[in-house]
Amino acid sequence: MTHVVTLNAGSSSLKFGLFSLQADDPVAICTGAVDRIGGSGASITAISADGKALGADVPQGIADHRDALTQVLDLIVRQFPDAHITAVGHRIVHGGPHHDRPILLTPDNLQALDELSPFAPLHQPYNLDGVRAAMQRFPDAAQVACFDTAFHRSHPWVNDTFALPTEYYDMGVRRYGFHGLSYEYISDHLARTAPLLYGGRVIVGHLGNGASMCGMIHGRSVGSSMGFTAIDGLPMGTRCGQLDPGVVLYLMDQKGMSVDEITDLLYCKSGLLGLSGLSSDMRTLEQADTGRARQAISYFNFRARRELGALAAVLGGLDAVVFTGGIGENSALVRERICVNMGWMGIELDHDANTDHARIISTPLSRVQVMVIPTNEELVIARAAARFVYPHMYQSLLDHAGSDAEGKSA
Ligand code: ADP
């Protein structure tokens, strides 16, 4: 049987999966993560489909991403000696303005993706390091890039641009949107399980450490809360979300802060952590009984409600809301606060269903169906990688990516 490895390389972590290619859909046989790459106390956690822990402590530490990948692949080969790896699927944060679907990676297009690193300096270089390490380790396997931005290339121009002189748009200063693999999973899931809703107007809240919202019509993205970078939009664990650019000018000009200091502030010290002064973790804040923790949660919910209303206006109405991501899937409190008093928009939450984390958490009479759907970005990557090896298998029900990014017009 043939297999696909999925890789999602962050700045100090590497998430991975091993999928066997079976007739109807790739099946995960192992998922895991390497944490604290380059630091002390590194560990590999891995769990097989039947719940067996396969991870290992790495007392000698993990020097870099190449080392991490070597250790992960050693673990896979040790635990699954019969695995025949024919493709590696990579999560790549930025595909630029033109990639609206996964691509087969070659040394040439890899270099072109390197040139997008200034757009996502905290993610793209690590993603591409993972690709290079996998190419070296599996020279005969197909290496497939799955872009977080691709799902949003269907945005109309008004949702793709800033009101800057147009030469900035031409140089790539655009609203790219992110979390595209998660949104693609939800869109595909709706097509399979709720085709009527899929065909309508849906807002998906991917609420995790990173958080964003996406408005879809007929399964395609028409608007997203994230913009040029993954700090825009909703507040997140440590990222500030929407911010008046005048604040940045003030910090530079009047407070003498450097680019590095402002980057650290906006990406690492803001959001839930900055507001609460306690933690970036929603579960910790819900359990903490402090005024600042409550304020942080209130701000998170307030911004999510605002974005929900804004995206509903963009969609011209609403048929369904889907919550996903660690907070969206697990926090009944956040879902309740976001949906409370939204009857005017057709949302009526079923309190008990919400508390029970049911799949449908709106009342039967609610005009808008509210759902909780666990996301699965790894499966989206595995499907995409598998399609390059076996083009006739795993054709998604959908072709989300049919948009022509060049075709945008004012
Ligand atoms: P990432 O963006 O890193 O993938 P996740 O999607 O795993 O993040 O989401 C992590 C967030 O989900 C954290 O803020 C965590 O506290 C929150 N979370 C997980 N489980 C719960 C829970 N039971 N209640 C509230 N928040 C939760």
**With pLDDT > 70 as the criterion, what percentage of the chain qualifies?**
95
Tell me how crowded residue 45 is: count the other CB atoms within 10 A of its CB.
Answer: 15
Select from 179, 181, 209, 239 the residue to mutate for testing ligand 1; criterion: most ligand atoms less than 8 Å from CB. 209
13 lines ligand 1 (CB under 6 A): no
pLDDT at residue number 397: 43
Q: Report residue 237 as tokens.
A: 């664990």
How many angstroms does the Cα of residue 112 sit away from the middle of ligand 1? 34
CB 262 within 8 A of CB 248: yes
How many angstroms does the Cα of residue 169 sit away from the middle of ligand 1? 34
Report how far Cα 309 is from the mean position of its chain's Cα atoms.
22
Which residues does residue 204 pair with via DSSP β-bridges, in sequence order?
214, 322
329 lines ligand 1 (CB under 6 A): no
Q: What is the mean pLDDT of residues 381-390?
A: 92
328 lines ligand 1 (CB under 6 A): no
Predicted confidence (pLDDT) at residue 364 exceeds the cutoff of 80: yes
208 lines ligand 1 (CB under 6 A): yes
pLDDT at residue number 405: 34
Q: What is the mean pLDDT of residues 230-239?
A: 96
**Which residues, 6 or more positions from 210, have their beta carbon under 8 angstroms from its beta carbon?**
178, 179, 230, 236, 237, 239, 325
All domains in the chain, ordered by first residue:
2-147+381-409 (3.30.420.40), 180-372 (3.30.420.40)
Q: How many CA atoms lie within 13 A of 239 on its CB side?
A: 18
Calpha distance 348→125 (Å, rounded): 44
Q: Identify the CA nearest to 226 among candidates 296, 149, 165, 168.
A: 149
Q: What is the pLDDT of residues 134-183, one digit of tens each?
A: 898 889 999 999 999 999 999 999 999 999 999 999 999 999 999 999 99
How many angstroms does the Cα of residue 22 sit away from the middle of ligand 1? 31
Is pTM beyond 0.85? Reply is yes
How many angstroms does the Cα of residue 208 sit away from the middle of ligand 1? 5
Query: Using N-to-C axis directions, what is the helix angle for 124-137 and 65-79, rounded to 10°?
Result: 50
pLDDT at residue number 204: 98
325 lines ligand 1 (CB under 6 A): yes
